[in-house]
Amino acid sequence: MILHHAKFIDAIRGKTFIRVVFYSIPDAGKVDRECIPLDFGPEPGAVDVLNRYWIWDHANTAGANPLGLLPDQIVSVQVLGRNFIPQQLALGNRSWNVIRDWEVQRELHDPSETTKK
């Protein structure tokens, strides 16, 4: 696990953007990305069971989405002060390792309760 593992998990549950600096194999160096934290755990359907930090690069600059980073690739994680809306991500049906409340938030409003002027 990384030094700021708990902050990463809290950012998932809090629907908060993160800034992550990680070693990118395709770029052969460190990269700094503003991302959405998705999950922590093994890759679904993979033979290896290595836990990865799953992120979504909303600017599509880090490669394939979602991107799974091994703990030794991550240099630092910083939680940012902006929230994201999970329903706007093209994630499809997924099962998560980290428990979270990402249900669609519906406004409770009865259309018959309209005010006439």
Per-residue pLDDT of 44-90, as tens digits, reads: 778 888 999 999 987 776 667 899 999 999 999 999 989 999 888 88
Residue 109 lies in a domain: no
Q: What is the CATH number of the domain that holds 64?
A: 2.30.30
pLDDT of residue 105: 43
- Please determine, for residue 37, whether its predicted confidence score (pLDDT) is greater than 80: yes
Which residue bears the tokens 């979504």?
A: 56
Number of domains in the chain: 1
Residue 55 lies in a domain: yes
- Please determine, for residue 108, whether its predicted confidence score (pLDDT) is greater than 90: no
Residue 76 lies in a domain: yes
- Please determine, for residue 42, whether its predicted confidence score (pLDDT) is greater than 60: yes
- Please determine, for residue 104, whether its predicted confidence score (pLDDT) is greater than 60: no
C-alpha R_g of the chain:
17
Residue 106 lies in a domain: no
Residue 116 lies in a domain: no
- How far is it, in rounded angstroms, from Cα 77 to Cα 79? 7
What residues make up the domain containing 53?
Answer: 5-88
Where helices occur in the chain by DSSP H, the ranges are: 5-14
Quick check: bond before 66 cis, omega within 30? Answer: yes
The residues, any chain, with a CB within 8 Å of residue 73's CB and separated by 6 or more, are 22, 23, 24, 25
- Please determine, for residue 4, whether its predicted confidence score (pLDDT) is greater than 70: yes
Q: What is the mean pLDDT of residues 26-39?
A: 92
CA dihedral sign of residues 78, 73, 62, 30: positive
> What mean pLDDT value characterizes the chain?
83
Q: How many CB atoms lie within 10 A of CB 68?
A: 20
pTM reported for the whole predicted model: 0.82
Residue 117 lies in a domain: no
pLDDT of residue 62: 63
Per the model's pLDDT, the better-predicted residue between 48 and 111 turns out to be 48
How many CA atoms does the CB half-sphere of 73 hold within 13 Å?
21
